[in-house]
Amino acid sequence: MDQIQCLKGEKFIPVRDLSELNRVQPEVRITAIEPDRARPDSVLVSVEARGTSRSYRPDIEPVITATHDLRLFRNGQLVGYADGKLAEAGAEPFEQTFSVRLPAESEPLSFTAYAFNDDRIKSDTARMEYKPPVAIQAERPRAYLIAVGVNHHDNPSWDLHYAANDARKIGESIAERLQTQGQYREIVSIPLISEANGPSLATKAKPQGRAGPAGWTRGGCERDSQR
C-alpha cells in the first residue's frame, strides 16, 4: 500500500511527534473473582476502570485522560471486553462483571486486564490469581463437519461434474468414523453443495445459519469446556 501511494505521488498522513502523545495511563483493577452461582463451570470477574489526571509541573494544568477499550484475559486468552470511551477523568469509574468459563483443570488461573487512554497508550496490567475450589470436569466436545461441493457456479465455465457427490460421500464417511470413535457428544454435518438441478447451499450465510451461535470451524471441533 505504501509503495502504491509513492507511485501515485500521494502524501502520507503526518505522524504525530511522540512527545505530543498523552502518556497519562488510566487505572484498571480486577476487584473480585467469585463463583458464578448460575453456572457452576464459570466465575464472575469484576473489573473497574477509571480516567485519571497527572500534574507534571505546578505551573501548568494537569493532563487528563478518559479510559477506553477494556480487555480481560484468562491465562492470556481474551475472555471479555468493553469497547469505546468508558469513563472520564474525575467521573465515576466504569465497572463491569464478566461471566468467564473455566477450563477443565484445577491449576491456578491468572486473570489480567488493561485499557487505553485517549491516545491509545496502554494502562498498567491489572492481575489477580484464582484457584478453582474443585476441578471442572471436561465435557465431550461437539464436532462440526463442513463438506463443500460446487458443481454449478454462476460462471458456467467453472462448473464441475463430481464435486457435489464427492462432498456428500466424503462427509458421510468422515461423520461415520467420528461417530464410531465416541469422542464427541454430537456430530453436526453441514453440507454446502451447489448443483444445477437443486438449491445452492454453498454460500457464506449457510454455515452460520446451520451452526448457530454455538460456533463452528471447518472440519474442526469446538471444545465447549475451553470457551
pTM for the predicted model, two decimal places: 0.63
| pLDDT band with cut points at 50, 70 and 90 for residue 139 | confident
Q: Over the stretch 155-185, which tens digit does the pLDDT of each residue have?
A: 888 888 888 899 999 999 999 999 898 888 8
Is 74 within 8 Å of 100 (Cβ atoms)? yes
Find the mean pLDDT for residues 62-84: 96
Which contiguous run of DSSP H or E holds residue 155? none
Higher pLDDT, 17 or 109: 109
Show the CA angle centred on residue 208, arms to residues 204 and 212, nearest 5°: 170
| pLDDT band with cut points at 50, 70 and 90 for residue 77 | very high
Domain boundaries, the chain: 2-130, 142-226
Q: What is the CATH number of domain 2-130?
A: 2.60.40.10
Other Cβ atoms less than 10 A from the Cβ of 100: the count is 22
Q: Is the confidence at residue 200, as pLDDT, over 70? A: no
User: Which of 54, 76, 74 is closest to 64 using CA atoms?
Assistant: 54
Instruction: Collect all residues with Cβ–Cβ distance below 8 Å to 124 and sequence separation of at least 6.
Output: 25, 27, 28, 114
| pLDDT band with cut points at 50, 70 and 90 for residue 10 | confident
Torsion sign over Cα 37, 41, 46, 49: negative
